[in-house]
Structure 1
Amino acid sequence: MNKLLPSLLGWGAGFVVTALAATYLIVQAPHPDAAATAIAPLAVPVTSVTLSDVAIPVISHGRVSVTREHQLSAAVSGRVLEISKAFVNGAHIEKGTLLLRTDPRPYELEVHQRQSDLDRMLLQLEETRALAEVARSQSADSPFARYIPQMRFAESQAAAAREALKFARQQLRDTRVYAPVSGRITGVMVQPGQQVSAATVLGLIQDDSWQEIRLPVSDHEAHLLGINADDGAGDFSQISVSLRTSEQGPVWPAKIVRSEAERGQFQQIILVAHPDYSARPGTPHLLAGTFISAEIRGAQRSDVRVIPRSALQADDRLLLLEQGNRIVTRDADIIHRGRDLIYLSNDLPAGTLLVNSRRQTLLTGTQVTPVNSDTLAATPENF
């Protein structure tokens, strides 16, 4: 018993020390806040619905082709004296440009000869007219005595000589060959010193006025442009076209001139456009075979809602922010899907806020903090 007492006392003292230490730690521990901190609503990028009158653009693509190539031929025979530096393969020339010149001397001689013949016939005509005046003053009775047939003959001779001179002058002018159309030269088939004859082909010119671009559009796109999808008919004068070869390149205006009689490979309606170079003088002409992107616009539509493509959610839904910045889901009534924009017919007031991202799934009723899409880039951690 005497041995057990010290052990019990030691155990009791240790227990007391432990209890005191535990009590001290409990007393000194930090106390939690009375209420838990509220979780802030999720920040999401938003954009506004724009209400506008707009001609909805349709994007199509095609290649430049030339449907008419002009054969440049000689009108008279002769030796080629000179060829213009502009008359080379690949060069673009304007209508009326001098291309080459053949030896004019035989035709100059012909002009002088025909001028001499005309002068002689005119002299004979005047002599006959003088004799006719004398015969009339002598009261001659017969037509021959009054020089009536002689005058007809002299006048016809003078007229024939006049036409012969006119033809000789035309042949002299034809020794100079000018570009009959504006276009690009695709073939030169003559050299200086070469002897050519009438109808000899001298070269080929692609006619600028016969450049075409075939632009396929779907039935839906044709409807947007005011074109009947059944027969391809429409008021093409109300349709404007802008052509580009690259995103940052120049713009060529064009006109839709017709639709083709048959649908294309993928059952699309084919619109045929002609570049309108006269609308922007000095703009370089397009090369045949160039790949073209075309923006086609028809008549304006009123009260169209326009949003960026990024605001259209999966399954063609819209996430609207209504009272209290809470999410409301609505189906999108899509008129047309553009490259960057979506055109809607929904009855949404201008300025309605939409979630402008597809990166998160937001449930109806979720409260969010709207963040302008332009400022979101500075705080990417928000989304």
Structure 2
Amino acid sequence: MSHPVDETAARPERGRAGPFKTAFVSVLIVLAGIALIWLIFKTEPTATRKDASRETAMLVDVQTVERGEYRPTIEVMGRVMPAREVTLSARVSGQVIEQAESFTPGRHVSEGEPLLRIDPADYEVALEQRRSELQQALADLELEKGQQAVARQEFELLGESIPADNEALILREPQLKQAQAAVASARAAVRQAELDLARTRIRAPFPAQVLSREVTRGSQVSTGESLGRLVATDRYWVEATVPMARLQWLQFDTTPGESGAQVSLRQDNAWPAGETRIGRLGQMVGELEDSTRMARVLITVDDPLALAAAKDKPPLILGSFLSAEIQARPLSDVVRLERNLVRRENTVWVMEDRKLAIREVGIAFEDETYAYIDSGLEDGDQVITNNLSSVVKGARLRLEGDSQ
């Protein structure tokens, strides 16, 4: 006897297996999608930019150098001072009765020009008196000569033997010497009176500029009293201070046949732009400057007030400060290069075969503008004059007009 199948009991079993199958299929689909996306990115072609990665040579400017002989300059500061200065003083006393118009501060006077005159009346009287005393002494001398001649005649007539010690007394030789001495003294008195009279006129001792005047007409002056101050106009000095290490490079005016080094002087705040005066390095003062402990040197400037040969040049003013460029001794077989082209640690950038080379150089001397190089550079070397953004030895370089 067969039993009927219960279909309602079997259906729930199929219904429970369906959700698991759906989930499994969904997971497979997601995994397949992920794998497909990974494969797409993995096999995507890569873009390359060959032109951008190609090395580009740096554009530079160069200066071709040559070895030779150069004269560096040493720049210092100096103060103008007189080479000759005199304080006029009275050598006789009296009242000033004349004063020259040129004896005024700032005026120029020539050598021997009268400046002042002291009342000469007393000195003229004294001169006449001394002259009369001289005439009296001369007359006494003539009288004594006559008496000596008479004494000699008497001595010869007597013919007696007289000791030699008494012979000079009998012949009046002491009296003659006394009269001669009186004449010499009278002559000296006359000469002194003439000098005193001449000294009543005060004259300029050399071509000079009047700096000060301390008396005027009507002033009463005494011997030794100051009358004024003069400075010579033919030459001034500029006293400058130089570092001790630079003295070996200076050429002073101490060697026979050689003049001192040339010096270019300027005063930027007072003279027209580019205006200079030329001087010569004289000698070194044997004493250091107190505050800076640097050596003191004297620079000679001829015609400092531009009165003769230096016409149309600015005059020098005493006490003013000037900039001085002193020519140093010449340097032979060196390269002269602007100081800013010497890089850190005394190196220079050079272009060799269109590549950057960094050279160490030896510096013999440096002034305000240039460095003088005695080793590390040769004739024809091309020194790079501009700054570079990247400094790498062997980097490629190019000049204006070169193809990339």
Query: Normalising by the residue count of structure 1, what TM-score does the alignment of the two structures yield?
Result: 0.71
How far did 1:82 drift?
2.0
* Aligned partner (choices 351, 354, 357) of residue 328 of structure 1: 357
Which piece of structure 1 moves more, 289-298 or 40-49?
40-49
Q: What amino acid is aligned across from residue 121 of structure 1 in structure 2?
A: A
Distance in 2 separating the partners of 1:354 and 1:364: 14
The counterpart of 1:345, out of the listed 374, 380, 385, is 374
Q: CA deviation at 1:42?
A: 5.5
* Pairing partner for 2:192 from 163, 167, 175: 167
Identify the residue that residue 283 of structure 2 maps to in structure 1: 256
SS of alignment partner, residue 260 of structure 1? strand
Q: What is the CA-CA distance between 1:166 and the residue it aligns to?
A: 0.6
Contact 2:66 2:380 in 1 (8 A): yes
Task: Determine if the alignment matches structure 1 residue 114 to structure 2 residue 141.
Answer: no
Q: Label 1:52 to 1:370 Cα distance change in 2 as closer, same or farther (>3 A).
A: farther
Displacement of 1:223 in angstroms is: 4.9
CA shift in 2, pair 1:87/1:245, >3 Å: farther
Q: Distance in 2 between matches of 1:313 and 1:97?
A: 63
The reply to whether residue 300 of structure 1 matches residue 315 of structure 2 is no
Q: Is the 8 A contact 1:51 1:350 kept in 2?
A: yes
Indicate the larger mover: 70-79 or 88-97: 88-97
Aligned pair partner of 2:266 in 218, 227, 245: 245
Pairing 1:189-228 to 2, within 5 Å after superposition: 189-206=214-231, 213-225=238-250
> Is the contact between residue 60 and residue 397 of structure 2 (CA under 8 Å) also seen in structure 1?
no
Does 2:384 correspond to 1:355?
A: yes
**Structure 2 match to 1:273:** 298
Counterpart AA for 2:372? Y
Matched-pair contact (CA < 8 Å) for 2:286–2:296: yes
CA separation of 1:105 and 1:350: change in aligned 2, threshold 3 A: farther
Change (3 A) 1:126 1:352: farther
Q: Relative to 1, partners in 2 of residues 1:156 and 1:131: Cα closer, same or farther, differing over 3 Å?
A: same
In 2, are the aligned partners of 1:264 and 1:270 still within 8 Å (CA)?
no
Q: Secondary structure at the match of 2:170?
A: coil
Shift of 1:160: 0.6
More displaced 10-residue stretch of structure 1: 328-337 or 198-207 = 198-207
Report the CA distance between 1:125 and its aligned residue: 1.6
Pick closer, same or farther for the CA change 1:157–1:346 going to 2, 3 Å: same
Comparing 63-72 with 251-260, which one deviates more in the overlay? 63-72
CA contact (8 A) 2:63 2:384 kept: yes
Q: CA RMSD in A?
A: 3.8
Aligned match of 2:8: none
Tell me, in whole angstroms, the C-alpha distance in 2 between the residues paired with 1:263 and 1:204.
28
Distance change (3 Å), C-alpha of 1:286 and 1:138: farther
In 2, the alpha carbon distance for the partners of 1:156 and 1:86 equals 46
C-alpha separation in 2, matches of 1:137 and 1:47: 109
Query: Cα 1:134–1:207, aligned 2, differ >3 Å: closer, same or farther?
Result: same
CA drift of 1:87 comes to 1.7
Aligned letter for 2:149?
Answer: E
Structure 2 match to 1:148: 173
Alpha-carbon distance between aligned partners in 2 of 1:306 and 1:47, rounded to the nearest angstrom: 11
Q: 2:68 maps to which residue?
A: 52
Change in CA separation of 1:202 and 1:316 when aligned onto 2, cut-off 3 Å:
same
The question of 1:87 aligning with 2:93 is answered no
TM-superposed CA distance for 1:107, in Å, is 1.9
Q: 1:135 deviation in Å? A: 2.6
- Percent sequence identity is 25
Unaligned runs of 5+ in 1: 1-34, 227-233, 372-383
8 Å CA contact retained: 1:83, 1:101: yes
> Structure 2 length as normaliser, TM-score?
0.67
- The reply to whether residue 178 of structure 1 matches residue 178 of structure 2 is no
Residues 63 and 214 in structure 1, CA contact (< 8 A), matched pair in contact too: yes
Of the two, which has the highest radius of gyration? 2
Residue of structure 2 equivalent to 1:288? 318
Gaps of 5+ in 2: 1-50, 157-161, 268-273
**1:375 corresponds to:** none
